[in-house]
Structure 1
Amino acid sequence: MSEQPLSRVTLFVAAGLAAVLVAGVIIASQVLGGSESDEAAPTTTTSQAPRTGPLALAGVDAPDANAPECAKLVGALPAKLPSKGDELARLPLADPAPPAAAAWAGDRGEPVVLRCGLPKPEHAPTESLREISSAISKVKWLLVEGEGASTWYTVDRPVYVALTIPDDAGTGVVQEMSETIAKVLPVT
């Protein structure tokens, strides 16, 4: 069978259909979604509403929360914590508040939460501990990183303390809390 060349009419019809298809795509994009020159629409982030009222904290397993060391620590906690040039104010906790717990935050954003009297944190023997030096002594912490926040656990005091810090809070929080813990709780 021999191949016959396409006729001029067939070529013009094919070119015309292609042009109509391209024109249809351009018109549809104009009608449904803008033009080629449009830039991506700016995204807006929704900020949290200003914080009002006491903060509700869920209870966690804290078998030593009523220990005298936790009472001493909670009584010595600062009213404010430094956070990247700002100050986080201590928040009232909603009833029923878990024992030996405290929280700090700004007007918006996630709070910093301290809990005292927790069980010994599980960690592999090869995990490295972080030492934060204070004017009094060093405090050894186990850092457990999470999504959006990290939790620091004291591992060298008579009670275990957990300090959960949002990623955007900076390092001033753990430094200030190391000072407070070093003053109040002896090294074990």
Structure 2
Amino acid sequence: MRANNSPQFNRTPIFIALGLALLLVLGVLGGARWVAGQSSQGPVQMAELPGGNADHPACAPLLEELPEEVAGFQRAEVAEPAPAGAAAWVAGEADELTLRCGVDLPFQYTALSETTEVDGTEWLHVVDPSTGDALQTWYTVNRSPAVAVTVYQIDPETSDAGAAPAEDLAEAMATLPEERQEPNPAPLAGLESAADANARCGDLMGNLPESFGTDPEYRRISTADTGLPADTTAAWGAPGVEPVVLRCGVTPPENYEVGIRLNQINEIPWFEDTTLANGTTSSTWFALGRDTDIAVSVPQASGNSAVVTLGDAIAEHTGEQ
């Protein structure tokens, strides 16, 4: 094992940015979160969310078709004033499942997102990175208006209720018109390619790992039809979390200035751009000191594994500047 006396990740700025970035996405999650004691003692409290399309006429027929039981959760009353387009189910003392019709899709829904089709409805699965499996949301991406189903379980491993609501909701979802929602641009799609990207990146692109990390384990996914340059882009995905994306041969980072703090990880000095997009936990890391600039979009869920593993490949398969 190589000794590494380099500074570790400076997490303070990314935690600050993460807190701001999660506000939009976790609006749905937070609005559905359990309020202590309410599940077993009275109606479920659900906050009104800004924006969205909860008053859409198609939401009323959906609510009428909702079943009494979903994934082991039993239908519950929503406390007044009940938000429009909302429904709730409970299990045990504290676990909750909530549904909201007419939500805005999260920024995690991009051209790289992997969705699951259940009886004609496609779902995007999003895990709250700050709670692990305790708080998860499924979004419909081919129905209009979009629906978010959030499951909150204090201890998912011991809960009597399940955490995969799509099958039980299939009949109700069929009441909504089919309409594919437009995904957001893929991570790093806004970066420009350097003029000599293909010539300098071939060795690296041919020697990138097929997988890395544990809990979650990221595996190589296709970047076809994403608008990203095929020969100089690679991506890895894991269930419920944002992908890791690498682009080789990009133009220098706009926010980098001489003298700015870098993170030395093994052989690679990294510049971390913590200017996060709204609703995403990812930041962009630029590998510097090579004969071409390389950008990696790194979500919080990946921990150190993405930068360490990909950094080692970059050091071995690109030249020094």
After TM superposition, the score normalised by the length of structure 2 is 0.40
CA deviation string 1:125-161 (max 9, x = no partner): 231111111xxxx101101112511111011000000
Secondary structure, aligned partner of 2:273:
strand
Equivalent in 208, 228, 247 of residue 115 of structure 1? 247
One-letter amino acid of the structure 1 residue matched with residue 302 of structure 2: A
Alignment counterpart, residue 73 of structure 1, candidates 199, 204, 211: 204
Partners of 1:91 and 1:104 within 8 A in 2: yes
Aligned length: 142
Aligned equivalents of 1:105 and 1:67: distance in 2?
24
Corresponding residue for 2:301?
168
The aligned counterpart of 1:16 is none
Identity %: 28
Return the index of the structure with the highest Cα Rg. Answer: 1
Q: With structure 1 as the length reference, what TM-score do the two structures score? A: 0.65
Q: Which residue of 1 aligns with 2:123?
A: none
Task: State whether structure 2 residue 46 is matched by structure 1 residue 46.
Answer: no
Offset from partner CA, 1:9-68 (integer Å, 9 cap, x none): xxxxxxxxxxxxxxxxxxxxxxxxxxx97674657541367xxxxxx8446410246432
What are the residue-to-residue correspondences of 1:54-133 with 2, within 5 Å? 57=186, 58=189, 60-64=191-195, 66-82=197-213, 84-95=214-225, 97-98=228-229, 99-122=231-254, 123-133=256-266
SS at match of 2:296: strand
Work out whether 1:144 is the aligned partner of 2:268.
no
Q: CA 1:141/1:64 → structure 2, altered by over 3 Å: closer, same or farther? A: farther
What is the alpha-carbon distance in structure 1 between the residues aligned to residue 43 and residue 222 of structure 2?
A: 48
> Residue 315 of structure 2 is aligned with which of 179, 182, 186?
182
Indicate if the aligned counterparts of 1:112 and 1:165 stay in contact, CA closer than 8 A.
yes
CA contact (8 A) 1:121 1:153 kept: yes
Q: CA deviation at 1:109?
A: 2.0
Distance change in 2, residues 1:64/1:78 (3 Å): farther
Q: Which runs of 5 or more structure 2 residues have no equivalent in the other structure?
A: 1-40, 47-95, 99-135, 141-184
Report the CA distance between 1:75 and its aligned residue: 0.6
State whether residues 197 and 250 of structure 2, in contact with CA within 8 Å, keep that contact through their aligned partners in structure 1. no
- Does the 8 Å contact 1:81/1:172 carry over to 2? yes
Q: Provide the rounded CA distance (Å) in 1 between the counterparts of 2:209 and 2:262.
A: 25
Distance in 1, matches of 2:272 and 2:97, equals 33
Q: Distance in 2 between matches of 1:116 and 1:125?
A: 22
Q: SS where residue 116 of structure 1 aligns?
A: strand
CA distance in 2, matches of 1:37, 1:97: 50
Give 3-state SS (helix, strand or coil) of 2:217's partner. Answer: strand
Task: For 2:210 and 2:139, locate their aligned partners in 1 and report how far apart those are by CA, in whole Å.
Answer: 23
2-side partners of 1:153 and 1:78: how far apart? 18
User: What CA distance in whole angstroms lies between the structure 1 residues aligned with 2:139 and 2:244?
Assistant: 16
Q: Is the 8 A contact 1:115 1:162 kept in 2?
A: yes
Instruction: Considering fraction of residues, name the structure with more helix.
Output: 1
Aligned CA-pair RMSD: 2.6
Q: Distance in 2 between matches of 1:151 and 1:100?
A: 16
Give structure 1 stretches of 5+ with no counterpart. Answer: 1-35, 50-55
Give the direction of change, closer, same or farther, for the CA distance of 1:37–1:88 in structure 2 (3 Å limit): closer
How far 1:97 sits from its partner (Å)? 4.6
**Residues 126 and 60 of structure 1: is their aligned pair in 2 closer, same or farther, counting only changes over 3 Å?**
closer
Cα drift, residue 124 of structure 1: 2.2
Are the structure 2 counterparts of residues 116 and 64 from structure 1 closer, same or farther at C-alpha, using a change threshold of 3 Å? farther
- Distance, in Å, in 1 between the alignment partners of 2:233 and 2:190 is 9
User: Is contact 2:197–2:292 with CA below 8 Å preserved after alignment?
Assistant: no
**Code of the aligned partner of 1:100:** T
Distance in 2, matches of 1:74 and 1:61, equals 18
